[in-house]
């Protein structure tokens, strides 16, 4: 028993050497970057003003680290044929993964606290992370059919998320507090969530291992839905060009997730808000809930964008890193996205493939932006109908255009950058072995001078962008006119964003604006090269 667990742990760490470092790095990159930029101003992060930022970072880091642990663990079904009891393997995946994720999250917050004197609570977020991890396990260990999976996931996120947010009094909109005290109810909630999750996971894995399948009600609904889809939503035509075909393919396999999640989140938020407003007979509560939760949707979008980017590197490449051999043979069909051979045997140039991917990203972001605008429009209508004073939510000194620029950057350009740059950065990591020392050096330097990480990032991205642009022009992937247009667009976005900050914040503003601007236009030049690299190794 002891040796089996030790062997599994060894295999896990040996297989994932660098990936294990990558996820905490990505999870900490943005918080440290923003906090570092802000800390130049002698601010007290422990004050209630920063609770929004704190919540966003905790959710973001939890999600990235959780996804990282899940991805590195791989499928539990590969152990089905080993002489192991189901309890042993579930214990390893459930408790081992949970402990690792919790430790990483605790370390992340401790690092922020140490670097920036934030004095943020650690126990609360860790409890939340464990509860979330535990309640998600039954869904993730054994694949669920899409619709029932989405419904259950939505319910879990709503339940655990409500608990987490209400602990910060986030939903009431006034008197927000940090979650310093853990009550008996919190402990009970976490214990119940984890034990129910553990029991269900054990039960589902046991069923799955013995090859039985559940026909739940949702599966039946799914079947009916599938028949309906088949009748009306089967692709019955061909496309006029490979680019269009691949754009359709990419949208269907990856980027479709973004508007879908946006739709589900906004739907949930609106129903919660309307319910609360009706229950309390008070419009104000509903409006406040929607307003504060819109930011959470935007954060969720960023996380989904990151996942979409990760899916791309999983799908479009096949022979870098340590793959689990025989994964396909043991009780598993090849995953939805690992179809490198097929994709790369299609006669489409990396240039066109990159364009198709960027267009599909644009579609999906366009769709979710439309949904967000619709939600904000409805909110505005609600506010004007009830003559609600906007300035209780937004400080009066912020201009509308500033809000618009920040909103667009945050909702539109940042997801776009996250979605399409991950493939590029894995390209850099795969080719350049000097990256880990560079990262360590950066981390040490920001402890001394926090703004440095921002500058280092901007410099690195700018260098990469210049290199990719030159390569693309040489390969004639992009015309000079298009290059000029894209670059000027990037510059305009950066300047507009920099100007929308307060003038006294010009230093952070320019770093943030420059990094977002460069990251947004980078995929136009780096993606053809990255795809060429992934196709031809």
Partner 1 sequence: MSDSTNLSSASVVEIQRLSRSFGAKRALHEVSLSIPRGGVFGLIGGNGAGKTTLIKHIMGMHYAQSGSVRVFGMDPVAHPVEVLGRIGYMSEERDIPNWMRVTEIMNYTQTFYPAWDTKYAEELREMFDLDPKQRIRNLSRGQAARVCLLLALAHRPELLVLDEPSSGLDPVVRRDILAAIVRTIADEGRTVIFSSHLLDEVERLADRVAMIHDGQIILHDRLDTIKESFHRFTLRFEQPFNEAPLILGTIERKGAGHEWTYFCRGDRDQLIQAARTLQAEIVQETLLSLDDIFVCNVTRS
* Interface with partner 1, residue 339, by CB under 8 A: yes
User: Which of the stretches 331-339, 387-395, 433-441, 480-488 binds partner 1 when contact is defined by CB under 8 A?
Assistant: 331-339
User: Which of the stretches 36-44, 117-125, 305-313, 342-350 binds partner 1 when contact is defined by CB under 8 A?
Assistant: 342-350
Q: Which is nearer to partner 1, 282 or 328 (CB)?
A: 328
User: Which of the stretches 58-66, 272-280, 343-351, 381-389 binds partner 1 when contact is defined by CB under 8 A?
Assistant: 343-351
Task: Classify 163 as helix, strand or coil.
Answer: helix
3-state helix, strand and coil shares in percent for the chain, rounded to the nearest 5: 80, 0, 20
User: Which of the stretches 92-100, 241-249, 299-307, 459-467 binds partner 1 when contact is defined by CB under 8 A?
Assistant: 241-249
Task: Classify 256 as helix, strand or coil.
Answer: coil
Q: Which of the residues 242 through 301 are near partner 1 (CB under 8 A)?
A: 242, 244-245, 248-249, 252-253
* Interface with partner 1, residue 213, by CB under 8 A: no
The length of the chain, given as a count of residues: 537
Choosing from 211, 347, 437, 480, the residue that interacts with partner 1 (CB under 8 A) is 347
Choosing from 341, 395, 431, 476, the residue that interacts with partner 1 (CB under 8 A) is 341
CB of 312 to partner 1, least distance (A): 14
User: Which of the stretches 7-15, 133-141, 238-246, 397-405 binds partner 1 when contact is defined by CB under 8 A?
Assistant: 238-246
CB of 230 to partner 1, least distance (A): 5
At 147, which helix (H) or strand (E)? helix 146-167
CB of 474 to partner 1, least distance (A): 13
Q: Which is nearer to partner 1, 256 or 382 (CB)?
A: 256
Q: Which is nearer to partner 1, 203 or 318 (CB)?
A: 318
CB of 432 to partner 1, least distance (A): 16
Identify the CA nearest to 290 among candidates 304, 309, 270: 270
Q: Kindly tell me the sign of the dihedral angle through the C-alpha atoms of 230, 235, 237, 238.
A: negative
Choosing from 215, 230, 448, 481, the residue that interacts with partner 1 (CB under 8 A) is 230
- Please list, in sequence order, all residues whose beta carbon lies within 8 angstroms of the beta carbon of residue 128, skipping any fewer than 6 positions away: 58, 62, 160, 163, 164, 190
CB of 365 to partner 1, least distance (A): 22
CB of 347 to partner 1, least distance (A): 4
Distance CA 464, CA 486 (A): 15
Distance CA 333, CA 26 (A): 30
CB of 353 to partner 1, least distance (A): 10
Identify the CA nearest to 527 among candidates 480, 465, 474: 465
- Please list, in sequence order, all residues whose beta carbon lies within 8 angstroms of the beta carbon of residue 309, skipping any fewer than 6 positions away: 418, 419, 420, 421, 422, 423
- The DSSP string of 371-436 is HHHHHHHHHHHHHHHTT--GGGTS-TTS-HHHHHHHHHIIIIIHHHHHHHHHHHHHHHHHH-TTHH
Contacts with partner 1 by CB under 8 A lie at 230, 234-242, 244-245, 248-249, 252-253, 328, 333-334, 336, 338-342, 344-350, 535-537
């Amino acid at each position: 028993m002891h040796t089996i667990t030790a062997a599994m742990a060894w295999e896990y760490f040996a297989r994932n050497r660098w990936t294990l470092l990558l996820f905490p790095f990505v999870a900490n990159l943005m918080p440290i970057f923003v906090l570092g930029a802000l800390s130049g101003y002698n601010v007290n992060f422990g004050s209630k003003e920063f609770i929004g930022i704190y919540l966003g970072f905790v959710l973001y880091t939890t999600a990235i680290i959780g996804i990282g642990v899940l991805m590195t663990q791989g499928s539990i079904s590969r152990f089905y044929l080993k002489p192991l009891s189901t309890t042993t393997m579930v214990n390893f995946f459930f408790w081992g993964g949970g402990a690792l994720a919790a430790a990483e999250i605790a370390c992340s917050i401790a690092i922020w606290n140490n670097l920036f004197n934030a004095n943020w609570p650690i126990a609360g977020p860790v409890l939340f992370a464990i509860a979330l991890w535990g309640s998600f396990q039954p869904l993730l260990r054994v694949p669920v059919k899409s619709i029932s999976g989405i419904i259950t996931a939505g319910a879990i996120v709503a339940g655990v998320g409500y608990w987490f947010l209400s602990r910060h009094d986030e939903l009431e909109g006034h008197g927000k507090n940090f979650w310093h005290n853990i009550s008996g109810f919190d402990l009970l909630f976490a214990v119940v969530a984890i034990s129910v999750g553990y029991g269900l996971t054990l039960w589902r894995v046991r069923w799955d291992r013995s090859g039985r399948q559940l026909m739940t009600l949702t599966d039946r609904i799914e079947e009916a839905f599938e028949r309906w889809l088949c009748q009306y939503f089967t692709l019955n035509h061909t496309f006029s060009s490979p680019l269009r075909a691949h754009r359709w393919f990419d949208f269907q396999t990856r980027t479709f997730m973004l508007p879908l999640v946006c739709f589900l989140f906004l739907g949930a938020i609106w129903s919660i808000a309307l319910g609360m407003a009706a229950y309390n007979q008070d419009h104000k509560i509903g409006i406040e809930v929607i307003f504060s939760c819109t930011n959470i949707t935007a954060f969720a979008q960023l996380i989904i964008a990151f996942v979409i980017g990760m899916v791309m590197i999983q799908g479009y490449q096949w022979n870098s890193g340590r793959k689990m051999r025989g994964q396909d043979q043991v009780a598993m069909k090849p995953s939805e996205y690992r179809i490198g051979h097929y994709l790369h045997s299609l006669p489409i140039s990396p240039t066109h493939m990159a364009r198709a991917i960027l267009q599909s990203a644009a579609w999906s972001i366009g769709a979710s932006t439309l949904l967000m605008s619709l939600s904000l429009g409805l909110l505005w209508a609600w506010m004007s109908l009830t003559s609600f004073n906007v300035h209780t939510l937004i400080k009066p000194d912020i201009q509308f255009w500033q809000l618009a620029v920040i909103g667009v950057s945050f909702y539109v350009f940042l997801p776009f950058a996250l979605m399409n740059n991950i493939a590029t950065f894995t390209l850099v990591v795969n080719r350049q072995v000097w990256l880990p020392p560079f990262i360590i050096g950066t981390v040490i330097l920001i402890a001394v001078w926090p703004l440095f990480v921002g500058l280092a990032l901007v410099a690195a991205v700018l260098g990469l962008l210049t290199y990719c642009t030159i390569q693309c022009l040489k390969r004639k992937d992009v015309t000079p006119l298009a290059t000029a247009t894209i670059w000027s667009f990037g510059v305009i976005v950066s300047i507009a964003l920099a100007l929308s900050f307060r003038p006294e914040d010009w230093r952070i503003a320019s770093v943030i604006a420059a990094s977002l601007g460069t990251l947004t236009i980078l995929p136009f030049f780096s993606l053809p090269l990255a795809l060429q690299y992934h196709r031809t190794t």
